Amino acid sequence: MTEGPEFIDVDDVVARFAAAGYLADQRLATTVFLQSRLEKPILLEGPAGVGKTELAKKLAAVTGRKLLRLQCYEGQDETTALYEWDYGKQLLYTQVLREKISQVVADTATLSEAVDRIGAEEGVFFSERFLAPRPLLEAVRSTEPVVLLIDEVDRADEALEAVLLELLAEYQVSVPEIGTFVATHRPLIVLTSNNTRDLSAALKRRCLHLSLDYPTADRELEIIRSKDTGLADSLAEKLVQIVRGLRELDLRKAPSISEAIDWARTLAVLGADELTPEILSQTANVVVKYDRDLTRAVDALARLVDPNAVVPEHLHSHDHDHDHGHSHSHGAHTHTHDDDHGHTSSSGAAKRAAKDEPGRHGDDYYGSPGSKTDAGTRAVSASQGARSFNAGGRRKRPF
């Protein structure tokens, strides 16, 4: 069934969304207007936090439709997206059937007839009475117009994309045990993707496609002003430039528009009358969500506030390496080192020179002249030698 026009023209889209607190540019407003006239889903792709999900919420608000949301995730299957059977209720009815079985087959004459009679009752267990609709089927079966948000579809497996194709193309859902449900009121469908993976061509072909990115500085400032953050216009303008500077860093997650709004509100609550590196560093965790990103952001804030500023040492975030070993380069100089026990050891060169000094041992150390055995050595028996050396003259390897 075709609904009446939701919007008069593109300007009507802009005006009604603005009244609801969402500033839609001309391109986005045109896409929404075409959706209402062409009755095609919208696929919004872009980084997180640029207003994709919020668009669906505001679309429901400005059109007076109920919002149904399917949040996608990895491993999701059709039972959480389309429908499932109410097994608890089916089990309860099975107990009732057992109690009534004698009444069902009371007037049958043969076993075959009794089996047919019982089989005829089985169909009741797979009827709408036991069908538990999930968001996709609920959107089709709804007796009132709805907006269906399929959020972060790129997180779901490709199998779910195949399930969506029938709904996106024909606004209907097939239930094998019952049949096909066709929408009485065609839902306005909005799909969002954060580009974590490429979506299938079949899905994209069924949608009006629009890529959203971070807005221009003027547009972002206008958005922040529209949210009544309480931050002075001059500070809000400067904050927008700082946020845009953070997005140019190599961050794991760049600050979103919604996080920039939160930062403006945070600074307003703290009563900031100037954006200094100190107060920005203390509140940077509002827009930066990972430790590594926070380190880079804090180190860059002083430069973003004032390109000529010198960053105070206490604002730096350091990764401390607790390895205090030192590498020395020794040239012609002789150094004296303290060992681990606090003793001072002299240079190796001096010790070697002392060992080479003549006469430092007594005469008997080298043996008396004419003696068969030196006084400084000990005679070793043949058996001891055999134990110390193997037959090949090699030292035995200790075990």
Q: Please state the domain extents for the chain.
A: 10-77+134-211, 84-130, 217-306
Question: Residue 177: what pLDDT?
Answer: 75
Is residue 298 predicted with pLDDT exceeding 50?
A: yes
41-55, 126-140, 151-165, 373-387 — most confident range = 41-55
Is residue 341 predicted with pLDDT exceeding 50?
A: no
Question: Residue 106: what pLDDT?
Answer: 65
What is the arithmetic mean of pLDDT over 124-138? 75
Question: Residue 213: what pLDDT?
Answer: 92
Q: Please give the structure tokens belonging to residue 82.
A: 């389309």
* Of 251, 249, 229, nearest in space to 239 by CA: 229
Question: Residue 350: what pLDDT?
Answer: 54
Question: Residue 319: what pLDDT?
Answer: 44
Is residue 42 predicted with pLDDT exceeding 70?
A: yes
Question: Residue 174: what pLDDT?
Answer: 87
Question: Residue 75: what pLDDT?
Answer: 84
Residue pLDDT, tens place only, 47-59: 998 999 999 999 9
Residue pLDDT, tens place only, 278-292: 999 999 999 999 999
Alpha-carbon gap, residue 260 to 265, rounded angstroms: 9
What is the arithmetic mean of pLDDT over 13-37? 95
72-76, 239-243, 315-319 — most confident range = 239-243
Instruction: Give the confidence band of 265 by pLDDT, cuts at 50, 70, 90.
Output: very high
292-306, 322-336, 356-370 — most confident range = 292-306
Is residue 123 predicted with pLDDT exceeding 60?
A: no
Superfamily classification of domain 10-77+134-211: P-loop containing nucleotide triphosphate hydrolases (3.40.50.300)
Query: Could you tell me what percent of the chain has a pLDDT over 90?
Result: 54
Question: Residue 44: what pLDDT?
Answer: 97
Question: Residue 199: what pLDDT?
Answer: 93
- Pick the residue with more confidence: 350 or 11? 11
Could you report how far apart the first and last alpha carbons of the chain are, in Å?
90
Phi/psi of residue 371, each to 5°? Answer: -75, 150
Least confidently predicted of 16-20, 111-115, 348-352: 348-352
Question: Residue 79: what pLDDT?
Answer: 75
Mean pLDDT of the chain: 78
